[in-house]
Amino acid sequence: MPIFEYSCQDCGSGFELLVRSDTVLQCPQCHSSKLDKQLSVFATAAAADAAPQLPAGPCGSCGHPDGPGACALH
């Protein structure tokens, strides 16, 4: 069961909801149904970890743009 984070547009409170198919989405504080779905902290962190690594830069010894060790191929 996915857990989503929401913030209430009416009272501004943030909360997490375990969302089932029959779950009624409403604020636990004011029972408003005007909710903003938040990106989960876990998903954000995972996306950051999955970000491609930047190239290490030119080789320090020969300046080859493919990075350190590229000059060994020549």
The span of 14-22, 28-36, 38-46, 65-73 binding Zn ion (CB under 5 A) equals 28-36
The answer to whether 30 contacts Zn ion (rule: CB under 5 A) is: yes
Site for Zn ion in 46-65 (CB under 5 A): none
The answer to whether 25 contacts Zn ion (rule: CB under 5 A) is: no
The answer to whether 27 contacts Zn ion (rule: CB under 5 A) is: yes
What is the spatial distance between Cα 47 and Cα 27, in angstroms, rounded to a whole number? 28
Contact 48, 19 (CB under 8 A): no
Residue partners of 6: CB distance under 8 A and separation at least 6: 14, 15, 16, 17, 25, 27, 35, 36, 37, 38
> Smallest distance from the beta carbon of 34 to Zn ion, in angstroms?
8
Token pair in block for residue 72: 């060994």
- Residues near Zn ion (CB under 5 A) are 8, 10-11, 27, 29-30, 32
